[in-house]
Structure 1
Amino acid sequence: MDLSLLLALTAIAFPVLLHLLTRATKPRPGTAKLPPGSLGLPVIGQSLGLLRAMRANAAERWVQDRVDRYGPVSKLSLFGAPTVLLTGPAANKFVFFSGALALQQPRSTQRILGERSILELTGADHKRIRGALAEFLKPDMLRLYVGKIEGEVRRHLDESWAGRATVTVMPLMKRLTFDIISLLLFGLERGAVRDALAGDFNHVMDGMWAVPVDLPFTVFRQSLKASASARRVIAGITRETKAKLERGEASRSSNLIACLLSLTHDAGATTHLSEEEIVDNSMVALIAGHDTSSILMTFMVRHLANDPDTLAAMVQEHDEIAKNKGDGEALTWDDLAKMKFTWRVALETLRLVPPIFGSFRRALEDVEFAGYLIPKGWQVFWAASVTHMDAAIFHDPAKFDPSRFKDQSSATAPPCSFVAFGGGPRICVGMEFARIETLVTMHHLVRRFRWKLCCKEDTFARDPMPSPLHGLPIQLENKSSH
């Protein structure tokens, strides 16, 4: 962001925000004190410092420096709002389970994704929307999607990987997971509509954590325009799907839109979703379903390039599964259950490089934690890296060790320590879908190809999600048979 924009923002918002922030820093009579720390400059606060650290691959250090200076609870200002940073397992548990906190996204994210998404709703509305999404993502439904996912993976590897000397992993993984999720969410086959939607979503992601200034030259404006375009497409798909359901040309299991519409229009249904709610939550599901999974698989490829022992163990696991199947026979739900080591590798990758660096909540009322006041209306921010890289929780935390997860998920760590999928009532509703998508893709990838990293410098940045240097170009070798 250039200096002229910063000065303009400060001049516009200074009088109002200075009043609000100054008033907010005064403890209320008879209550606990505010946490230590500074709110910084109006509007800007510590936002630019955090964003710079994320882009320099120093966000974990940035958070830890605050913890070292102020302790596990401190105040700051992020994205124009007074904020309390909470760290540690007890803080994570408080954030995930406290009824006094509601999920809070940066204003930029709210504007881009809509006001009626699962990310914004609380109470009965949140429960209603989550229940509708969970219906689509329950095991009985997911079993039906394994074949569709595998079909997209096979076609993608045939068209974009096979026969290539080099490929760039991150953009290819993003396109693969986008194709998978757009097929399952909307029933969108390959073609111009899917391509246009993919282009829109590339721009949507650019402004998710941007300063929400709606001016022609800002990234935020470009993201808003892309969001509006994507929403028009999804609204049109919703109306078409509704008509197909009425004509008997689609069923509840056809895709997410059909599932949500079927729930809404079933006789005696208690889950009523408006078109706005279907569009808003489809936007969220599309981002959550393709962006995080693509990051996970990209960083698995990145790690496996330099860890031959882990790669060999994965190849052995998948070869064992394949040898018991006929040539070209599709994967089944039972096959996925045998990929235990691969999923432990995925979980360890998520521990070291969580796609979501952290998340926000909003205090619905004055609330105390660890003897400090969190005033009503303030943001609460937690970061996954604090517990993921705590040597008291994960021994030798910088070491890649899938055996940490040998006993079901994060059972070897205290509750609310491994938080790659969040926790509590808002734990990622698509966690099982992400597992299926990852296992199917890695099954075919490790059996068909060998690879080496092209870049000697093995680094990544966050903007706001992690991206390896240059998108992770690799030298690719096709195995003779698969």
Structure 2
Amino acid sequence: MELPLLLALIAIGVPVILHVVTRLKNPRPANLPPGSLGLPLIGQSLGFLRAMRSNTAERWIQDRVDRYGPVSKLSLFGAPTVLVTGPAANKFVFFSDALAMRQPRSVRRILGERNLLELNGADHKRIRGALAEFLKPDMLRLYVSKIDGEVRRHVDENWTGRTTVIVLPLMKRLTFDIITSLLFGLERGPVRDALAGDFEHVVEGVWSVPVDLPFTAFRRSLRASARARRTLDAIIRETKAKLERGEATRSSNLIACLLSLADDRCVPLMSEEEIVDISIGTLIAGHDTSSVLMTFMIRHLANDTETLAAMVQEHDEVVKGKEDGETLTWEDLAKIKFTWRVALEILRVVPPIFGNFKAAIQDTEFGGYTIPKGWQVFWTAGVTHMDAALFPGPSKFDPSRFENNQSSPAPPCSFVAFGGGPRICAGMEFARIETLVTMHHLLRRFQWRLCCKEDTFVRDPMPSPLHGLPIEIEQRARS
């Protein structure tokens, strides 16, 4: 037998045997949700991943809901899982003390055991507090002009003078540059370029069957993560040296702040390895979601002339009386309301985060069923966002759903693009700023049309339009 085949059989067979032994030792409790756990280790993972990559994931989830109801059991990424859907389920996931954050093994291996998505309790509160220092209103006001400068430079270098561009990779690079500059103090240059290249591959395998074999997405992501971790480790050591020399302070950037966290005896609260994990999680959370949002805004506007015209008018009004080249301000962004409602409707229709996982830290109940201790709980955004009882005519694009004067707004925990509860996205306002600033410059300088007649996308695990969304662009006549 060839060695690679033997290793593959061992890699698959050993977890299966352990899984069976564990089941024999720990019989299942009664009153489990309906459904099946499928094959050991594999479960429904492959079917789910195929649906994600064929743009049928929402249908795949809805088929389960139609078959089993809003609560069902399955196995995803090597662990028994309970799928829950609907506003009540979202509220349960966001607020229940019986659940704690725990990502699938693939996520923990790639992002690190102490990544931001994994922290709970006092650890999460401490790190969220550190993030809040850099995302509070006073800091966000300062970021507007810096983000404006990054966007102008990006547009000049990557859009101006071109007839075609591929949107998604450009948006990913823009948002990556913004967050690494503002939160990590990483200036333009080869180090930032290398880190950006690695992060393109890190996300590819976070939702995958965690079998470390050659040529798999999981293996590619592990290798990219290792390279990114070495880069971040060097940045952390350099920042630490600057703090010791007095060349940096706690408020210089997020890494300096995390290095400065200490107890009453001045003992650091975090190791450098933990800071690397948190940095990786923050970078992914901070740039991938915003880049997907802006890409799908551009995609939608190519075929929605009415919404496009209203947005262009709004942005033209904002700069009336300004000198050409004058940067946007915090007060300017407060006037750009319709564009943000368009962004929220995009997030409803195509949520960047398909769903997320928690774990039961004790036996608990929901919907009349038992969720055993240690099982994953998986919630999704799409089923709720496309529920006609919550959002009438859900397939219709309608930004007015998010006007403040709605007579019958959707109930709490219906719109969950930013999560909810104590762990609601800390960077929501930051994302609003970079989205509005970016769309301002693109809308006022360009008009575009899609190159591909087939207007589809896949999830891997973030939404990705066909070929990265190539578009033809031309300069817009200034009003």
The 1-side partners of 2:429 and 2:26 are apart by: 41
Which residue does 1:342 correspond to in 2? 339
Amino acid at match of 1:125: D
Q: Distance in 2 between matches of 1:99 and 1:5?
A: 41
Q: Following superposition of structure 1 onto structure 2, how do residues 38-53 of structure 1 map, counting pairs within 5 Å?
A: 38-53=36-51
Distance 1:176 1:408, change over 3 A: farther
Cα distance in structure 2, aligned partners of 1:332 and 1:405: 24
The structural deviation recorded for 1:431 is 0.9
Q: 2:134, 2:183 within 8 Å by CA — same for their partners in 1?
A: no
Describe the shift of the 1:441–1:408 C-alpha distance in structure 2 as closer, same or farther (beyond 3 A). Answer: farther
Look up the match of 2:381: 384
Q: Decide whether aligned partners of structure 1 residues 3 and 206 sit closer, same or farther in structure 2, where only a CA change above 3 A counts.
A: farther
Which of 29, 41, 50 is 1:27 aligned to? 29
Q: Measure how far apart 1:362 and its partner are.
A: 0.3
Match of residue 456 from structure 1: 453
* Counterpart position of 1:439: 436
Indicate how the Cα distance of structure 1 residues 113 and 408 shifts in structure 2: closer, same or farther if over 3 A, else same: farther
Matched, 1:309 2:306: yes
Question: 2:277 maps to what in 1?
Answer: 280
Q: For 1:427 and 1:58, how far apart are their aligned partners in 2? A: 27
TM value normalised by structure 2: 0.95
Find the counterpart in structure 2 of residue 93 from structure 1: 91
How far apart in 2 are the matches of 1:266 and 1:150?
38
2:13 to 7, 11, 14: 11
Q: What amino acid maps onto 1:390 in structure 2?
A: D
Alpha-carbon distance between aligned partners in 1 of 2:164 and 2:424, rounded to the nearest angstrom: 37
Report the Cα distance in structure 2 between the residues aligned to 1:243 and 1:319, rounded to whole angstroms: 47
Corresponding residue to 1:321 among 318, 321, 324: 318
Is contact 1:132-1:271 (8 Å) kept?
no
Match of 2:210 among 209, 212, 230: 212
Q: Summarize deviations over 1:373-427 as a string: whole Å, max 9, x none.
A: 0000000001101110000000100011000001189982100000000001111
Give the stretch that moved more between structures: 266-275 or 281-290: 266-275
| Residue of structure 1 equivalent to 2:329 | 332
Name the stretch that deviates more: 317-326 or 433-442. Answer: 317-326
Instruction: Tell me the percent identity.
Output: 74
Aligned mate of 2:72, from 60, 68, 74:
74
Aligned partner of residue 477 in structure 1, secondary structure: strand
1:122 aligns with: 120
Distance 1:359 1:68 in 2: 21
Instruction: Encode CA deviations 1:258-285: one digit per residue, 9 max, x unaligned.
Output: 23334x1598889833322221111111
By how many angstroms is 1:246 displaced? Answer: 3.3
Contact map agreement 1:117 1:284 (CA 8 A) in 2 = yes
Shift of 1:163: 1.1
Report the CA distance shift for 1:206/1:146 in structure 2 as closer, same or farther (over 3 A): same
Q: Indicate whether 1:145 and 2:143 are aligned.
A: yes
- Give the deviation of 1:252 after TM superposition: 3.7
Residue 368 of structure 1: aligned partner: 365
Q: Would the alpha carbon gap of residues 3 and 89 (structure 1) be closer, same or farther in structure 2, given more than 3 Å must change?
A: farther
Q: Which secondary structure does the structure 2 equivalent of 1:323 belong to?
A: coil
TM-score (norm 1): 0.94
Which residue of structure 2 lines up, in the alignment, with residue 161 of structure 1?
159
Segments of structure 2 that go 5 or more residues without pairing to the other structure are none
Contact 1:362 1:378 in 2 (8 A): yes
The Cα shift of 1:9 comes to 4.7
Correspondence for 1:64? 62
In structure 2, distance between residues paired with 1:272 and 1:401: 47
Q: How far, CA to CA, are the matches of 2:281 and 2:311 in structure 1?
A: 32
CA distance in 2, matches of 1:3, 1:82: 27
**How many residues align structurally?**
476
Task: Give the match for residue 418 of structure 1.
Answer: 415
